[in-house]
Each structure stands twice: as structure tokens, then as C-alpha cells.
Structure 1
Amino acid sequence: MLPVKQFQDFIEQQQLFVRANKILLAVSGGKDSVLMLHLFKAIGVDIGVAHCNFNLRADEAQRDESFVALLAKNLGLPFYVTHFDTKKYAAENKISTQMAARDLRYNWFEEIRRKEGYDYIALAQHQNDAVETVLINLTRGTGISGLHGILPKRDLLIRPLLFLNRQQIDEIVRTNNIDFVEDSSNASTNYTRNKIRLQVVPHLQEINPNLEKTFAENISRFAELETFLNIQVQKLANRILNKRSDGIYIPLEEVSKLNPQKLLLYELLKTFNFGENVVEEILDSLRALSGTHFFSATHQAIINRRDLVIVEKNTSVTSNQFIHPTTENIAFANDEISLTLTDEVKFEINSNKAFVNADKLIFPLVLRNWQNGDKFIPLGMRNPKKVSDYFIDEKVPLHLKSVTPILVNGNGEIVWIAGMRQDNRYKLTTATKKVAIFELKIK
């Protein structure tokens, strides 16, 4: 008999789904996924069958596809199939064939799930798969999340066979005369997982015959440990991560107090895609000169006086933007600047506005980033000052210097450091007849 009750009990214990949900089953044709299909059919849940043909095993792959298609038809179930040029995808993305197959199938499963209205995607991984995953992660190097391997439920992926090991599945399939197809590549040691399965796990089972059960218990503990860590890291983030319009500020004093320091800083920064090696560099540089930069694929971290500042990458360079008399609004980096020309001579004290003597403007004006050597005469002063010195005097954070819009006249003179200070040469006087009002609108 099929272990229907154990299957239902596991689903309820792990809260994988409710009976009203619609489940998409990933079925390769092997004994694991075929057993999962029969168990789902036995409990009467609304299901569909999805099969991937990776075109890696020629006739055998076509045999698998035909078998699963016929099985779905005989059971009266919706059937979805796709074909991948896996080797081409792997070459183009410079990844292994196994990683390519993984990316392709998960992306396609999600596409079908959305298109056809399924609530979850069911995968037929079992306890031995979990053991192998943990061993692979440990061999390659892993954080806490790698220690729990594969979980019964993660987001919209569910694994309802994790209550069984490979030996139990073999016995259930045999005693119930369940037809399946065998993937010949499972016997090859060319793949890392197969090496672990065929050459490593048997030796570990000699030491501990209940290896799968032991790993299942350990995986459960590690999963709980990760949950606890995530809760504590979130509390820490709420306390020391200060979100501002220009970035996220973490006081260096708070970083120095972290204990364990490397683990907690990594957990705080991994959201921004900083790797462990970069976190080590940051910790080694806490007393470095202000301005030291560190990079992830999406963000940069900057030591700025008393803070570690996290900002998105590629926001610091903006090409020159030209402003004509007819320009009303112009985007610059993440902000916007508007221009209004008026005959009404007026002025107000507002750092986000510049009231400029329009008769002195030579169009087109240029809106650009700060450059080395830039000088201007701050409003109310007579002598030129380097913009870099002005930034220092005003304690402008390093990451803001490169994204602060600089308004430049057609003759090359700076008219306004947007949001900060206007140039004295372009102030309004009693002789002014026309005013150009520039306003920085921070999004």
C-alpha cells in the first residue's frame, strides 16, 4: 500500500499547502517523482504534471518525456512539457550543465505556475537528497542556511517526500508495482552529487546506519537556528541601520560592538549582496581613512567619517544634461530640477531653490557631476572657493559629493551647487529684470 497517511501527516505537520490549493508537480519519470505523483493522486488534490526535456541524453530523454506524457494522460491530468538547449545555455552563462538545468527548470516551473494558476510547485526530493545537499554545501563552504540543506517548504516550492529515504522509496515502488524510467546518468560519477551519493554516503552509513534520520534531525535544528538568527539580525537591523534618502547609515561604533562581529555584519550586509570576503575587508578597514570603498554586484559601502554608508552602485555618474530656456523639468540621477523664468523679481531663503539673474545666463546651461578643480564664489562671499573644500566644510558625505548636481553656465562658471549654495556672481540685484528660478525636487 502507498503511505498515504504518512504523506498527509507530513503535509499537515509542515503546513505545505491546504486541500483547496492547486499544485504543479515536477515529474521526471524516475521513481521518486512518479511515487509523488501517485501519492498526490491518492489524496485527491488538484494537480498538474510538468516535465522538462533537457536534451542531454538523446533517445533516453525522449523516452522519459513520452513516459510522463502517457502517465499524465492515463491519470487524466494536465501535462506541460518544454525542451531546453541546456549545453548552449551553460556555455553562454559560463556555468556547469547541472546549474544550467537547475536554472532553466525552476524558471520554467514558475512560468507555468503563474500562467496556469497553480499555488505551489512540488519537487520529489527525499531525505537522501537532503543529506547529499548538506555534504556538498559543507565541501564547498557554506553559511548556516547551507547546513539545513533543502527544506520541506521555501516560498512556493514544496518537497512532500522529505519524510522518506531512498531505501523506503525503492521498497514502496517495488511492492506497489509502480512503473518508472531509470536515468542512466544516475550511475555516473562525473557529477558531484553522484560522487557524494555513490562514493561518500555508503561509508558514512557504515558509521551510522541511521544516517538519513540523523541528518533529518540535524537539518531541523539548523533550520530553527537560522530562524532564530534571522529574528535577532532583524532586531539588530532595526536598531542600527539608519535609512536616509541618500543611503543606509551604520555607525562604525555599532559595527565595532558586534559580537560575533563577522557573522552579524555579514548577515546585515548580505541583503545588499556583499560576500564574506568583502565583509572581512570592511572589518579590517574600520580605522581606514574616510572614503574607503567596498563593492558588491549591486551596492557600494563607504567608510564616511563615523559611519559605514550603503548606497546603490552606478548612481554616482550622470552624463551632462543640457538646459535650454524652454526646459521645464530635467532628471538628474535620482532627482529632478525645474526651471521657471519670470519677470517678477523675488527671492526666498530655500537651499533647494536658486534665484538667478537670468540676464547673466548663457544657454544652454549644463547640469553635471562635480569635477576635480571646480571652483565657485559662495553666495555672500567675494573670493573663489574650491567645491571640494566647500563639501568638506559642509561635511557633505563622500557618496553624496558625486551625485550632487552642479549647474554650470555656458561660459563655464558654476551657477549653483544644487540643494546647497548659489554662486554670488548670479545673485539678484536692484538691476535685475528677469529671474530664473531653479528648484531641486528630491524624489
Structure 2
Amino acid sequence: MLPVQKFLDFNHHQQLFVTGNRILLAVSGGKDSVLMLHFFKACGIDVGVAHCNFKLRKDEAQRDEHFVKTLAQSLNLPFYVTHFDTKKYAEDHKISTQMAARALRYSWFEEIRTTHGYDYIALAQHQNDTIETVLINLIRGTGISGLHGILPKRDKLIRPLLFLTRTEINHLVDENNISFVEDSSNASTDYVRNKLRLEVIPHLQNINPNLEHTFAKNSSRFADVERFLNVQVQKIANEIVLEKADGTYISIDEIKILDPQKLLLFELLKPYGFLETVVEEIIEALNKQSGIKFFSASHQATINRDYLIISKINTEEHLHKSIHINDDEFEYNGHSFLLQFTDELKFEADKNKIFVDSSALQFPLIIRNWQNGDRFIPLGMRGFKKISDFFIDEKVPLHIKSNVPILVNGNGEIIWIVGMRQDNRYKLSQSTKKVAIFELKIK
């Protein structure tokens, strides 16, 4: 027997859905998602089944699709399936295969949800998934939101199995003779999540046999802390943030007395997309001259006498342009550029030209304005240097540095501070077979 009442109690406590809602279930065919499907079916809830074939495991992927389709048909449930060229998407967008799969499936789930009238999308993540997520966030660096891990509900996504551990799921599947398919990649330690699950977490469980329960309690506490912080930040915003026709004004005097300053200013600026490193530089610049600008992808922050002024960037083309491999000529912000390729291994000492090992380039490239937090390895050096510090060392005036174009590789690394210095990672070497030449045309 399935613990249906425990399932319903968790749903009620977390307010995941209400009677009459239609739920789209993301079903891979593995233990977790198949068990979730049986829970919903046992409760008589109106559901549909969605399955993604990522074309990553050849015969296994076809097996999984057939299994889920047959299961949905046997239960007389609507079945939706799609096929993704995941590897191509990952290559085109210069991201990992896992990130590509995540982006593709969530976009498709939402499309099916809206098109077919479902209220929520249910994902079969459980307590052990939360442990893995928190550990990954801690390893990579995280804020408070990363410490609470996976939330039971976020927008239209619900996770109704978060009351169960992996051991409990295994027991329920065995006890109820539930059929499923096994993903062979789950046994591979090539992925960070698998490595944590197979090699790290068992050691933690030896130290604390109730690890899942402990993490669940901690996650709940951190979620409460995040909610409390959001309330406090909103109170502060109501007091010190002033909305005007030309932008958002925040008193510099009020910023200076925030405590803790970096945390609260970061939270105030987070809706505008400013990174933590940029917030640190804003704080450092509060006592400097007016006119200093800081950029996020969508906004700029300007120190202007008594206020930090946040304004939306209206001309995206002015600050961001894609460069493709066939763009032998391109324009950006009043500058003209040439791009050519040659098999001749050559180099010229010209500040308006750079000679790059073309095998290191990942197209499309980006040319954009300088942003606070940018860093590179100056040609001839080994260590990183902030571009803001480079500008200071080179005595570049404020009104000029704000308009210096920056050439960026598809992987996010800076290639060239145009007209000033190339990045050392992109210099020619004895192994270079093809040279890309970028030239700033002087009018």
C-alpha cells in the first residue's frame, strides 16, 4: 500500500495544489517519477504524463520512452513526448549537456502546461536530491537561497515527493511491485551530482544516520531565513529607494549605514541583475568622484553626488553585439572592425590589431562595453587583473573607459580590451595552425 494520506498531508501543508487542479507529471521512467505517477493516480487527481527523450543514451532512451508511453496508456492518461538534440543545443549555447537538458525540458514542460490547460508541473525530486543540491551550491559558492536547496513549490513547479528519502522510495517501489527502468548513467561518477551521491554522501550518513531528516530541517530553517530577509529588504527599500521618471534613486548616505552593508545592498540591487562582485566595487566607489558607472546585463548604476541611480539600458545593441565566424566586417558603438583568418603564423606589434589562435575561439563572440567585475590576463602576464585596475594603471579617463569595447569569447573569457591589450590566453603559440586577426579600423 502507498502512504497516500502522508502524500496528501504533505501537499496540504505545503499548499502545492488544490482540488480540481490539473497536474502535468514529468516522468522519466525511473523509480522516483513512476512512484509519483502512482501516488497521483491513487489519489484520483487529474494528471497528464510528459516525457523527454534527450537522445543521449541511444537504445536506453528509446526504451525509456516506450516504457513511459505504455505506462500512461495502461492508466488511460494523456501522454506527451518530445525529442531533443541535446548535444547540439549544448554546443550551440556553449553550456554543459546537463544544463542544456535542464533548459530544454523546463521550456517544453511549460509549453505543454499552458497549451493543454494544466495548473502545475510536478517533478519527482526527494530529500536526497535536496542534500545533493545544497552540497553542490556550497562547493560552487552560494547565497541564502542556495542553502535551502529545492523548495516544494516555486511558481508553477511542484515537488510532491520531498517528504520521502531515497531509501523510502526504494522500499515503496519494491513493496508495491512497481515497474520502472534504470538509467545506466546514474552509476557514473563523471557527473558532480552522481559523485556526491555515490562517494560523498554515504560517508556523511555514517557520521549522521539521520542525514536526510537533518538536511530537511535545515532547508526549512534557511527558507524561513530567506523569507525573513526578503521582508526586511522590502522594508528598507520602502524607506530609502525612490522611484523617479528617469530611474531608481538610492541615497548614498543611507547605503553607507546599511548593516550588513554588502548583503543588504546586494539584495536591494538583485532585481536589476547586479553581481556580487559589482556590488563590492560600488561600495568601494561610494566616496569617489561622481559619474562612475557600473553595469549589469539590463541596467546601469551611476554614482551621482548624493545618490546611486539605477537606470535601464535602453540600447542593447549599443552595449552588446554578437560576432559570427563569417563576419569579416562588423560595427560596434561607432567603431569599425575587420576579421580575417590566415594559415600564416605572424604577429605585428600594433595596438589596434590582435593575432589570436583561432582554435581557442568559440563563436559567436560578443563585443560589448566594459563591466565592473571584468577581469583578464594581460598579454605577457600569468595572473588575472581586474580591468578596472588595468584602466587605473593605464590612467584611462572615466569618460573614455566607459566606452572602451571589450571582445569576449563564447565561453565568457575576455579576448581583447580593444586598442589596449590582448589576453594572454589567446596569444599565438608553436602549436597554432590558424590565426584569427582582429583589426580596429582607424577612420
Normalising to structure 2: TM-score of the pair? 0.71
Residue identity in the other structure for 2:163:
F
Residue by residue over 1:341-369, the C-alpha shift from the partner in whole angstroms, topping out at 9 and shown as x without a partner, is xxxxxxxxxxxxxxxxxxxxxxxxxxxxx
Structure-2 residue corresponding to 1:67: 67
Residue identity in the other structure for 2:312:
E
Question: What SS does the corresponding residue of 1:45 show, helix, strand or coil?
Answer: coil
Matched, 1:200 2:197: no
**What do you get for the CA RMSD once the two structures are aligned?**
1.6
Structure-1 residue corresponding to 2:178: 178
Summarize the alignment of residues 2-151 of structure 1 with structure 2, pairs less than 5 Å apart: 2-151=2-151
CA distance, structure 2, for counterparts of residue 200 and residue 311 of structure 1: 46
CA distance, structure 1, for counterparts of residue 115 and residue 58 of structure 2: 29
CA distance, structure 2, for counterparts of residue 316 and residue 48 of structure 1: 40
Q: CA deviation at 1:239?
A: 1.1
Q: CA deviation at 1:140?
A: 0.3
CA distance, structure 2, for counterparts of residue 105 and residue 317 of structure 1: 30
Do the aligned partners of residues 282 and 65 (structure 1) sit closer, same or farther apart at CA in structure 2, a change above 3 Å counting?
same
Matched, 1:155 2:151: no
Structure-2 residue corresponding to 1:251: 251
CA distance, structure 2, for counterparts of residue 185 and residue 251 of structure 1: 53
Q: CA deviation at 1:288?
A: 1.2
Residue identity in the other structure for 2:274:
F
Residue by residue over 1:206-255, the C-alpha shift from the partner in whole angstroms, topping out at 9 and shown as x without a partner, is 10000000000000000000000001111111111111000000010010
Structure-2 residue corresponding to 1:327: none
Structure-1 residue corresponding to 2:238: 238
Matched, 1:289 2:266: no
Q: CA deviation at 1:314?
A: 4.0
The alignment covers a number of residue pairs equal to 321
Residue identity in the other structure for 1:147:
L
Q: CA deviation at 1:180?
A: 0.0
Residue by residue over 1:321-350, the C-alpha shift from the partner in whole angstroms, topping out at 9 and shown as x without a partner, is xxxxxxxxxxxxxxxxxxxxxxxxxxxxxx
CA distance, structure 1, for counterparts of residue 317 and residue 53 of structure 2: 45
Residue by residue over 1:340-399, the C-alpha shift from the partner in whole angstroms, topping out at 9 and shown as x without a partner, is xxxxxxxxxxxxxxxxxxxxxxxxxxxxxxxxxxxxxxxxxxxxxxxxxxxxxxxxxx99
Residue by residue over 1:118-139, the C-alpha shift from the partner in whole angstroms, topping out at 9 and shown as x without a partner, is 0000000000000000000000
Question: What SS does the corresponding residue of 2:300 show, helix, strand or coil?
Answer: strand
CA distance, structure 1, for counterparts of residue 213 and residue 70 of structure 2: 35
CA distance, structure 2, for counterparts of residue 25 and residue 284 of structure 1: 49
Residue identity in the other structure for 1:7:
F
Residue identity in the other structure for 1:24:
L
Question: What SS does the corresponding residue of 2:82 show, helix, strand or coil?
Answer: strand
Question: What SS does the corresponding residue of 1:267 show, helix, strand or coil?
Answer: helix
Q: CA deviation at 1:316?
A: 9.8
CA distance, structure 2, for counterparts of residue 167 and residue 285 of structure 1: 52
CA distance, structure 2, for counterparts of residue 251 and residue 257 of structure 1: 10
Q: State the structure with more CA Rg.
A: 1
Q: CA deviation at 1:42?
A: 0.2
Normalising to structure 1: TM-score of the pair? 0.71
Matched, 1:305 2:317: no
Residue identity in the other structure for 2:34:
V
CA distance, structure 1, for counterparts of residue 108 and residue 271 of structure 2: 25
Residue identity in the other structure for 1:5:
Q
Q: CA deviation at 1:276?
A: 0.4
Identical positions, percent: 70
Structure-2 residue corresponding to 1:219: 219
* Structure 1 stretches lacking a partner, 5+ long: 319-397, 403-443
Do the aligned partners of residues 251 and 316 (structure 1) sit closer, same or farther apart at CA in structure 2, a change above 3 Å counting?
farther
